[in-house]
Amino acid sequence: MAAGSADSVAVDLAVDDMSEPTGRVPRVEGGEPTGRIPRVDVDGDPTLAVRSPVIDMKHLWKTYRPGSLAVHALRGVTLNVDRGEFVAVMGPSGSGKSTLMHIMGCLDIPTSGTYELSGEDVSEMSENSLAHIRNREIGFVFQQYNLLPRLTAWRNVELPLMYARVPAPERRRRALASLQQVGLAERVDHRPTELSGGQQQRVALARALVTNPALLLADEPTGNLDTASALEILGLLQDLHRSGRTVVLITHEPDVAAVAGRVLRIRDGQIDSEEVAA
Amino acid sequence: MRWRDTFRSGFEAILGHGLRSLLTILGIMIGIAAVILTVGLGQGAQSTVNSAISALGSNLLVVTPGSTTGSGGVRGGFGSASTLTLADANALGSKRVAPNVIAVAPQAETVEVLTAGSSNWTTSVVGSTASWAEVRDRQLQEGGFFTRQQVSGADDVAVLGSTTASELFGAKSPIDQTVTVNGVVLTVIGELTSAGSSGSTNLDDMAIVPITTTQQQLFTGTFATSVSTIYCEANSSSGLSGAYQEIDDELLAAHHIAQPSEADFTITSQTTIASTANSVNRTLTDLLAGIAGISLLVGGIGVMNIMLVSVTERVREIGLRKALGAPPTDIRRQFLVEASSLGLLGGIGGVLAGLLGTVILPHLQSNPVTISPLATAVAIVVAIAIGLVFGVYPATRAARLSPIDALRSE
Ligand SMILES: Nc1ncnc2c1ncn2[C@@H]1O[C@H](COP(=O)(O)OP(=O)(O)OP(=O)(O)O)[C@@H](O)[C@H]1O
Ligand SMILES: [Mg+2]
């Protein structure tokens, strides 16, 4: 089934970012970021793709000290994610996947080790450039969704655009388009408490997609969905990947991981194995 | 974020937390209104005392029996053995003895029952001389004041205050009517124009009778021989200190007192009364300002609490906004708009409540309430500053956390 959705968008391959509103991803015009994370079309010919890492982590440790006891969530993780790659992260519960993802998304800081994003050391970036990166270049789907309970679905989705200083009418247009993409056109005026878990998850995904980010980080984005909806979302992620985005997603399901170009397995805060899909 | 969006987010947050916003506004309001009203009451009391003092008459020196000395406290006193006599007053009236004194009005007074026909009225009967009206700066609304001749003749005449007159004679003119005091029948020859009250004394409820008449016929005991007060009017305000010296010298000599510190009388000038009253008032104002400050502090702590709680509750929201790319400036601004809107609403409400209080309070108690612009301004600034500091500072601190730490807080 994963192959089926890939087929349907095969025509989009090698099409430039700006030109298409074809296929499953109705790209919203305007606000196309020219950020430090470039989109490259590696699917055209993977062997020719220049290996230039977007994410470059070396000996990353993350230690929590909730009490007197130290919890090592990450123990020396070293990994690269290249431009335009689609990476799945798998591992047992509590193995440190979310922790890794938060650091990747510049939402948390490692206890030690270095993290370079597009060649730039994140620990040396200013608050403002970090905010800019989180806003314009990274789309993050939280495992816990993290929607603002007082705002309706579309107002939640428009939030990142507010910080990008996009004018209000365009914000609404893009938020609605993004919600339609995840199949929630009927629920735009509902508050999170009036939505099912799976619907909330899709609002969170729509919010991550609305800024058209170059790097999409999704923490179990299909964890609460039925198979059909999950496939739909997966197809969406694949489309994004095909149009040049770098996608890293956490999953427990082998089916989902199978779609990715590479699977990273994490155990006890360490990379256990790495396998490249055939 | 655009300013428009910042304002919209701020107002949505205020409306979204209705009760909490209301409590914050109320805290600021009460602090400001309390300061306006307490300081206003203090200043109102001060202006009452000042007008009472100026009602005493101008360029006035008041001689009273007894003395206050630095070490010995009060010697003698108003009710006890009075050391002032009519002879003292007559001496001070002499141009040779006291050139700076242009008029002298001794005053001997007791409370008596006045009877006119079937009505009677208890009031203070004042024995004085013909200069009383001039010295006390009083006018007559009807008839005339008694003359020097009537005083030396100890005539049975009386001048009534307006309250006394209406109590005894109703709407009828009191002139040429008679009142009986201690069996002596007095003819009413004049009625004073109303002068209101000075402090607790009603200036319109009294009967003035020639002092010779009171001494010979009406009063008994020490009241018949001594006077309770001698009012001396100086020729000008610049002559006041000269007059003071003349009175002091004459009375010390007349009473055979060698040491000025042993004086058995006290001379008070209107200015010393005013400055004493003012310092008492300033103490009162300081006290009220202290109380107002405390109420501002209490209101401020309330505001501080609510602000701190509301920001702490929203650290998760701050974390999420940061995760979505909000720069610290935007977060600071959002909370600044929220806190200053609450502060502004509370400030306006507090000033309105304070103004309303200054209109209502005078109907509930006798003192007027004046508005102090300085106290009002200080109250507004302090209340809003507290709201701002405790609304913005914790938010700025939360904005310094990493998004994940903020999202995980609670
Ligand atoms: N704030 C924290 N304080 C203390 N320990 C923490 C904290 N956050 C995570 N941990 C610990 O770090 C480890 C990794 O947590 P993490 O959330 O990354 O797991 P995960 O792989 O995402 O698990 P799951 O699949 O269940 O989501 C866990 O053992 C967890 O208990
Ligand atoms: Mg997780």
Q: Does residue A210 have a pLDDT over 90?
A: yes
CA dihedral for B13, B19, B25, B31, sign (positive or negative): negative
Ligand lying nearest the CA atom of residue A100? 1
User: Are A133 and A35 contacting, i.e. CB atoms less than 8 angstroms apart?
Assistant: yes
In chain A, % of residues over pLDDT 70: 81
Which helix (H) or strand (E) segment holds residue B386: the answer is helix B373-399
User: Are A148 and B9 contacting, i.e. CB atoms less than 8 angstroms apart?
Assistant: no
Residue nearest to atom 6 of ligand 1 (CA): A64
pLDDT of residue A13: 35
User: Phi and psi of A45, rounded to 5°?
Assistant: -155, 95
Q: Is A114 helix (H, G, I), strand (E, B) or coil?
A: strand
Euclidean distance between CA atoms B203 and B197, whole angstroms: 5
Contacts of B255 (CB under 8 A, 6+ apart): B83, B263, B264, B265
* Average pLDDT over every residue of B231-257: 85
**pTM for the whole structure:** 0.67
User: Are B129 and B89 contacting, i.e. CB atoms less than 8 angstroms apart?
Assistant: yes
* DSSP category for residue B106: E
Q: Does residue B254 have a pLDDT over 60?
A: yes
Q: How far is CA A76 from CA A17, A112, A116, A271, B93, in A?
A: 36, 9, 15, 9, 109
User: Phi and psi of A100, rounded to 5°?
Assistant: -60, -45
Instruction: Find, among B210, B271, B276, B277, the residue nearest to B243 by Cα.
Output: B271
Judging by beta carbons within 10 Å of its beta carbon (0-12, 13-18, 19+), is residue B35 exposed, middle or buried?
buried
- CA–centroid distance for B129 within its chain: 32
Euclidean distance between CA atoms B211 and B224, whole angstroms: 9
pLDDT, one tens digit per residue, over B22-33 is: 988 888 888 888
pLDDT of residue A27: 40
Q: What is the DSSP string of A92-143?
A: -TTSSHHHHHHHHTTSS--SEEEEEETTEEGGGS-HHHHHHHHHHTEEEE-T
**CA torsion A178→A184→A188→A189, rounded to 10°?**
-160
What are the chain B neighbours of A162 within 8 Å (beta carbons)?
Answer: 1-2, 5, 9
Give the minimum alpha-carbon distance from A146 to chain B in angstroms, rounded to a whole number.
7
Looking at the DSSP bridge assignments, the partners of residue A87 are: A248, A262
* Average pLDDT over every residue of A19-44: 47
Show the tokens assigned to A274. Answer: 């790495």
pLDDT, one tens digit per residue, over B313-343 is: 888 999 999 999 999 889 888 888 888 888 8
User: Phi and psi of B356, rounded to 5°?
Assistant: -60, -40
Q: Does residue A73 have a pLDDT over 90?
A: yes
Q: Name the least confident of A138-147, B248-257, B274-283, B380-389.
A: B274-283
The Cα angle at residue B261 between residues B260 and B266, in degrees rounded to 5: 80
Q: Least CB-CB distance to A162: which of B1, B329, B403?
A: B1
pLDDT of residue B199: 58
Ligand 1 atom with least separation from CA of A266: 21
CB-based contact A107 B403, cutoff 8 Å: yes
Q: Name the least confident of A143-147, B38-42, B330-334, B348-352.
A: B38-42
Instruction: Find, among B206, B237, B32, the residue nearest to B126 by Cα.
Output: B206
Ligand lying nearest the CA atom of residue B405? 1
How does the average pLDDT of chain B come out, rounded?
A: 84
More confident residue, B320 or B74: B320
What are the chain A neighbours of B9 within 8 Å (beta carbons)?
Answer: 162
Band of the pLDDT at A47, cuts 50, 70, 90? Answer: very low
Strands B101-116 and B229-234: antiparallel
* Average pLDDT over every residue of A156-163: 95
Show the tokens assigned to B48. Answer: 């009452």
Ligand 1 atom with least separation from CA of A269: 14
What chain A holds in terms of domains, given with CATH numbers, is 6-23+32-52+82-112+126-276 (3.40.50.300)
pLDDT of residue A21: 37
Q: Is A98 in the pocket of ligand 1 (CB under 6 A)?
A: yes
Euclidean distance between CA atoms B267 and B231, whole angstroms: 10
Across B136-218, where does the E strand assignment appear?
Answer: 140-143, 157-160, 178-181, 184-192, 197-198, 201-202, 206-210
Best mutation target, A97, A106, A134, A191, to test chain B (most B CBs within 10 A)? A134
Q: Does residue B58 have a pLDDT over 70?
A: no
Show the tokens assigned to B275. Answer: 């400055």
User: Are B157 and B187 contacting, i.e. CB atoms less than 8 angstroms apart?
Assistant: yes
pLDDT of residue A140: 94
A179-218 burial, b if ≥16 CB within 10 A, otherwise e? bebbbbeebbebbbeebeebbbbbbbbbbbbbbbbbbbbb
Judging by beta carbons within 10 Å of its beta carbon (0-12, 13-18, 19+), is residue B361 exposed, middle or buried?
middle
How does the average pLDDT of chain A come out, rounded?
A: 82
Contacts of A219 (CB under 8 A, 6+ apart): A97, A98, A101, A140, A141, A142, A143, A249, A250
Q: Does residue A178 have a pLDDT over 90?
A: yes
Which helix (H) or strand (E) segment holds residue A61: the answer is strand A53-64
Q: Half-sphere exposure of A23 toward its Cβ, with a 13 Å CA cutoff?
A: 26
A78 alpha carbon – ligand 1 mean position (Å)? 18
pLDDT, one tens digit per residue, over B60-70 is: 888 888 865 44
In chain B, % of residues over pLDDT 90: 20
User: Are A108 and A102 contacting, i.e. CB atoms less than 8 angstroms apart?
Assistant: yes
Instruction: Find, among A160, A166, A168, the residue nearest to A137 by Cα.
Output: A160
Q: Is B124 helix (H, G, I), strand (E, B) or coil?
A: strand
User: Phi and psi of B219, rounded to 5°?
Assistant: -95, 160
What are the chain A neighbours of B5 within 8 Å (beta carbons)?
Answer: 162, 168
Q: Least CB-CB distance to A127: which of B321, B327, B404?
A: B327
Q: Does residue B233 have a pLDDT over 50?
A: yes
B77 CB neighbour count, 10 Å cutoff: 12
Euclidean distance between CA atoms B180 and B184, whole angstroms: 5
Q: Name the least confident of B9-13, B244-248, B274-278.
A: B274-278
Residue indicated by tokens 């985005």: A245
A143 alpha carbon – ligand 2 mean position (Å)? 6
User: Are A125 and B402 contacting, i.e. CB atoms less than 8 angstroms apart?
Assistant: no
What are the chain B neighbours of A127 within 8 Å (beta carbons)?
Answer: 327-328
